[in-house]
């Protein structure tokens, strides 16, 4: 399978899962409400994030976040396309990571363009310590970054072994 086919599969799966889960959340729970799933650990919540990761710049008093994050997303997607083109066909970890990051970025971009905010709904916590709510797109971004790091470590180890 070539790099573009593999990347397209991961990207499409990511965007579809992200959008289906956000639509589902919007249909089953009112905004700013939540439901305890695993006491002391996990809730489903329906929150709207005008900012970026972990609520960065999530402020009603500023209006430039939306165009800024849309522009940043397109720049990032261009960089990802460049990286994908220059990635070795055999480096499936890098290809998968780039595709997951692109899929996550597109999933959140769809929300920003359509709604002006991103829907978040996964709320993990221990006691009073909550991780900021997130979504499937955010999971894909994180897993994608992990895949890229793994690729870099494996390729580094491979180069060291070749030079030895």
* Cβ contact 58:49 at 8 Å: yes
Catalytic residue among 18, 58, 111, 120: 120
How many other C-beta atoms can be found within 10 angstroms of the C-beta atom of residue 83? 16
What are the residues facing 48 on neighbouring strands?
119
Helix (H/G/I), strand (E/B), else coil: 155: helix
* Known catalytic membership, residue 91: no
Q: For the chain, how big is the Rg over CA atoms in Å?
A: 18
* Known catalytic membership, residue 138: yes
Both tokens of 29, joined, read 């729970």
Catalytic residue among 58, 111, 123, 138: 138
| 125 sits in which H/E element | strand 118-126
List C-alpha distances in Å: 146 to 70, 98, 101, 116, 149: 24, 10, 10, 28, 5
Enter the DSSP assignment of 32: T
Q: Which residues are catalytic?
A: 120, 138
């Amino acid at each position: 399978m070539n790099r573009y086919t593999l990347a397209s599969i991961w990207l499409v799966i990511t965007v579809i899962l992200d959008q289906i889960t956000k639509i589902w959340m919007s249909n089953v729970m009112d905004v700013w409400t939540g439901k305890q799933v695993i006491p002391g650990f996990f809730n489903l919540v329906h929150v709207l994030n005008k900012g970026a990761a972990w609520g960065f710049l999530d402020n009603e008093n500023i209006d430039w976040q939306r165009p800024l994050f849309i522009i940043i997303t397109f720049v990032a997607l261009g960089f990802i396309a460049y990286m994908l083109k220059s990635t070795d066909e055999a480096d499936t970890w890098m290809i998968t990571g780039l595709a997951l990051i692109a899929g996550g970025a597109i999933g959140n971009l769809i929300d920003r363009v359509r709604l002006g905010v991103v829907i978040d709904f996964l709320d993990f916590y221990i006691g009073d310590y909550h991780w900021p709510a997130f979504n499937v797109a955010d999971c894909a971004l994180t897993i994608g970054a992990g895949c890229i790091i793994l690729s870099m470590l494996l390729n580094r180890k491979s180069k060291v072994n070749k030079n030895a």
